[in-house]
Structure 1
Amino acid sequence: MARSAHGRNSAAISGVSPLRNARRSIPATLEQVCEDLDTRSKEDSSGVTPSMLSGWELGKHITSIKYRKMLADYYAQPPEVLFAHQDQQLTAASETPRLLVGHRDLRAAMTEVVRDASQYLAVVGSRSRDATYLDAIEATLAQRPELVHYRVLFGPPRHQVLKDHLLRLVKIRDPHDRSLGLKTLHIGIVEDDPGTPERFFCASESTAVVPVPSLTSSEAFDSGVLFEAAVAERLIDHARQLYAGARRVENDQALRGLPTVRS
């Protein structure tokens, strides 16, 4: 489908995102845009579905860099214009982050994120070794079978306690089970790459904790920032995107094959 020059120059319709306005200005349906993107793809499949595109247009989900470039090329508009409605959500939020200082406060906040999660729980990083925190994750997953959990490692586990935790997770819940209509346990590893910095956070649909460099000691893990729903939802999307590009380690054999950096 040819793109319309009118679509590149039309003013945004009040109450409609620039991304949706660009599609309507062609005009094209969600399905037609996805078909066009598939045709342009070298693999004959862009990976974009009508429901994904609708979610991006409505700002319900955040578009990754890969798809931002794809859609910017398709609509011939810069990403900062097409995706302004997504990026402005954070700067417009009235939430006030809370600084956490001290191991007890940091652990308590992360544990509370886990225990309060009812829809999603995303945990990213390879250095977890706090037994209380890891036990809380296991208990929450056992108690709430419908809770969707993402666990993304950056390189192999740094400690045996984390590897043992992952092994227990696949015993608590089968990552391949779809009895509730969807996959509820996702475990992946981003292979060691100097160009891919490790990330750390724990997020539910309502709150998130992001550890930061210690404010008390160069060796401590005791400082972080507590965010509310607007940021937490972004981090859930962040974890989804990480998992999409990660290597799956979702059975006992794959997890046992992971080395540990430290005992």
Structure 2
Amino acid sequence: MISVRNLTLYFNQHCILNNLSFDIQKNEIIAIIGASGAGKSSLLRCLNLLEKPQQGRIRIGNQEIDLAHVKRNEIVQFRQQSAMVFQQFNLFQQKNALENVMEGLVVVKKYSPQQAKAIALEKLVEVGLSGRVYHYPKQLSGGQQQRVAIARALAMNPKVLLFDEPTSALDPELVGEVLMSIQQAAKAGNTMILVSHEMQFVYEIATRVLFLDQGQIIEDGTPEQVFHCPVHPRTKVFLSRYFATLSSDYQI
């Protein structure tokens, strides 16, 4: 369903992503883990062309683009294949929750207001916000705002959902409600790519884990394989900081 080949991204001659190639199947839940600065968020931003890599090819569904020669009209079409939930909620402050979710359906998908409203209401109910439909962002908690952002992404019915550290901007007591909404989206069969430092959540939700280090994928396997039997020494060092109770092999 998703194919990435030779993805390479530089900033000011510094290599962020180094010739990455991987495939993702429909309904897979991919978690990307790694230290800060490893290139995780940059990878997500490349997948929906918020960053323009210097080289590589990406295919989502039946649409494939050559990143070095992509045209503007191709970018617009390609971005509709995915929907991204950011660290910050990126909601329109002057619009209520319902209007925020409707916006993309009306502007991008060209749905009628009636169609858009029906879909938006359905998605807001799915994320547990039936009682907050007409509330504005300033009237919502951080967790509720992020759930509006998740509803907005779901409403677009993308081929893949991209989550970039969706709980990093939240107070600890609000994290659970957002993780629950993501888990429900996963159970509904959505293909998802998740960047997160919530290791226990990654272990529980992911069908596959990629460990990214210095712009390269150095570990790729099931949560059980990556968390309990990692092959690369760098993966062991990273995980030892989160799982102090694991075997002595993890001790730094």
Look at both structures and tell me which one has the larger radius of gyration over its CA atoms: 1
Q: TM-score range by the shorter chain?
A: under 0.3
TM-score, normalised by the number of residues in structure 1: 0.25
TM-score, normalised by the number of residues in structure 2: 0.26
Of the two structures, which has the highest relative contact order with CA contacts closer than 8 Å and spacing of 6 or more?
2
